């Protein structure tokens, strides 16, 4: 049974030991939530915004995530403190679903939730919900989170869809057949982007999220802060990342093939590109879905023998054969209803252990969605086969007509067959270190 005295004593220990970090907003939030929890009146988000962060009563919590960001940081810090507590002893935790500080026992699940891994084993699918439970993905933008929640529903529904003649035809094609020839797991790798917080130097409150292409991990941020210590009070690791919304649409198309029931017993799992490791790339079939800029360590493996190379930015691709430059216009389209050119890239080859690696990518959102559509339509797969002559090891490049973030039409620029493009284990290990 929980008692106020236990909660108060543990809270005092945390304060005395300075275990929440430097004095500031995080301590004000902790003190406020402890007091309200002891009073038996856990606050609403708007109350916290007003009482802790000095917002007005008209503050719109749906437009500013400051309370949720700091609650996430506090929950994470309390979990870190609790990790040092011997099993069976009480610790303080910020309960999920409400802003209440309570006692938790490390020997049991405080929320009584079922084990999501066990649930995933039953369906042979790792739902995106599992990824969203990880701190790295909790900070998705609203649009991206909404799109991915839709994708979760799509994944689950696809488990119940019958195998149509069209799906069976695609699964028997050179593009997809290697995924079903053995019992290897299938890993869908989604390109993610690291973001960090910029704080107000006076209050310490996080004012905005920052995406900096030269900083792709907490380690990169720490190196930057060490090189310029004056920035340490300005920038902060929030353990957050985001995914482009096109990922959800492309994932829906891919799961039409991979998620269809039938003979397959492969387990389908989803990981972030930032979490991909050498073990996975050796032991699993791989489908990469996302922007070219999100490939991370996969980029060198994919472009190692490609006809394309990167230009001055991820929006520019250069044809090594004829020297032509292709630059996506997605970021510079003059108006919402204007069309623009984007570039889609798909490829398939053999991995270091004889596994299949398939790339569904592009320079921007419209191109990624076009890549997925290309590989999940029998007519376009057949066109690829006729042009490249074989899809065992191939790459294809398309010019896409986009509007807003959607693909309207495409034109095949080239599709080529490679000699069996099998990356060596040494190259895979070197790229993923």
For 4-105, CATH gives 1.10.10
Average of per-residue pLDDT across 52-59: 88
pLDDT, tens only, 231-246 = 887 888 887 888 888 8
What's this model's pTM, rounded to 2 decimal places? 0.62
pLDDT score of 156 more than 50? no
Structure-model confidence comparison of residues 375 and 71, the more confident one: 375
Please state, in angstroms and rounded to a whole number, the distance separating the CA atoms of residues 77 and 41: 23
Q: Which residue has the tokens 């050498």?
A: 278
Structure-model confidence comparison of residues 201 and 288, the more confident one: 288
Average of per-residue pLDDT across 2-31: 84
The number of beta carbons lying within 10 Å of the beta carbon of residue 71 is 17
In this prediction, residue 50 has a pLDDT band, given cuts at 50, 70 and 90, of: very high
In this prediction, residue 332 has a pLDDT band, given cuts at 50, 70 and 90, of: confident
What stretch of H or E contains 199? strand 193-199
Structure-model confidence comparison of residues 138 and 288, the more confident one: 288
Share of the chain above pLDDT 70, in %: 79
Please state, in angstroms and rounded to a whole number, the distance separating the CA atoms of residues 300 and 384: 24
Lowest mean pLDDT among 91-95, 170-174, 315-319, 413-417: 91-95
Beta bridge pairs of residue 358: 287, 348
SS3 of the chain: helix, strand, coil, percent, to 5: 40, 25, 35
Please state, in angstroms and rounded to a whole number, the distance separating the CA atoms of residues 168 and 279: 30
Contact 99, 71 (CB under 8 A): yes
Average of per-residue pLDDT across 412-421: 84
Average of per-residue pLDDT across 265-283: 84
What are the residue boundaries of the structural domains of the chain, listed by start? 4-105, 117-191+244-431, 195-239
pLDDT score of 376 more than 90? yes
* Burial status of residue 190 (CB atoms within 10 A of its CB: 0-12, 13-18, 19 or more): buried
The number of beta carbons lying within 10 Å of the beta carbon of residue 169 is 13
pLDDT score of 341 more than 70? yes
- How far is residue 274 from each of residues 136, 218, 268, 269, 291, measured CA to CA in Å? 10, 11, 18, 15, 13
Residue 264 phi/psi, 5-degree rounding, is: -60, 135
In this prediction, residue 335 has a pLDDT band, given cuts at 50, 70 and 90, of: low
Q: Which residue has the tokens 């236990």?
A: 6
pLDDT score of 419 more than 50? yes
pLDDT score of 129 more than 70? no
């Amino acid at each position: 049974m929980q008692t106020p005295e236990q909660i108060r004593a543990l809270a005092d220990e945390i304060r005395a030991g300075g275990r929440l970090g430097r004095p500031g907003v995080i301590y004000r939030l902790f003190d406020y939530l402890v007091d309200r929890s002891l009073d038996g009146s856990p606050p609403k988000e708007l109350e916290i915004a007003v009482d802790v962060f000095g917002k007005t009563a008209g503050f719109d919590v749906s437009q500013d995530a400051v309370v949720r960001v700091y609650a996430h940081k506090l929950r994470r810090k309390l979990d870190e403190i609790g990790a040092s507590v011997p099993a069976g002893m009480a610790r303080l935790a910020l309960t999920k679903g409400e802003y209440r500080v309570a006692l938790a026992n490390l020997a049991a699940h405080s929320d009584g939730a079922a084990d999501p891994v066990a649930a995933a084993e039953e369906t042979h699918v790792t739902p995106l919900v599992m990824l969203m439970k990880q701190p790295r993905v909790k900070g998705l933008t609203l649009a991206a989170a909404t799109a991915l929640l839709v994708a979760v529903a799509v994944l689950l529904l696809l488990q119940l869809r019958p195998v149509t003649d069209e799906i069976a035809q695609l699964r028997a094609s050179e593009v997809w057949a290697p995924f079903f020839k053995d019992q290897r797991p299938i890993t869908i790798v989604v390109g993610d982007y690291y973001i960090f917080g910029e704080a107000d130097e006076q209050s310490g409150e996080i004012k905005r999220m920052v995406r900096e292409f030269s900083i792709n991990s907490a380690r990169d941020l720490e190196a930057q802060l060490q090189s310029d210590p004056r920035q340490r009070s300005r920038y902060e690791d929030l353990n957050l990342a985001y995914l482009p919304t096109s990922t959800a649409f492309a994932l829906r198309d891919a799961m039409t093939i991979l998620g269809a029931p039938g003979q397959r017993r492969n387990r389908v799992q989803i990981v972030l590109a930032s979490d991909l490791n050498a073990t996975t790339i050796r032991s699993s079939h791989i489908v990469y879905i996302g922007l070219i800029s999100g490939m991370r360590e996969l980029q060198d493996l994919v472009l190692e023998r490609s006809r394309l190379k990167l230009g001055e930015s991820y929006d520019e691709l250069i044809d090594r054969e004829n020297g032509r430059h292709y630059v996506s216009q997605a970021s510079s389209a003059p108006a919402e209803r204007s069309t623009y050119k984007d570039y889609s890239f798909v490829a398939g080859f053999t991995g270091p252990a004889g596994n299949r690696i398939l790339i569904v990518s592009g320079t921007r959102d419209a191109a990624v969605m076009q890549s997925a559509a290309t590989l999940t339509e029998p007519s376009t797969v057949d066109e690829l086969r006729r042009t490249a002559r074989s899809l065992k090891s191939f790459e294809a490049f398309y010019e896409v007509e986009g509007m807003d973030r959607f693909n309207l039409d495409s034109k095949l620029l080239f599709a080529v067959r490679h000699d069996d493009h099998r990356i060596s284990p040494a190259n895979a290990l070197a790229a993923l270190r």
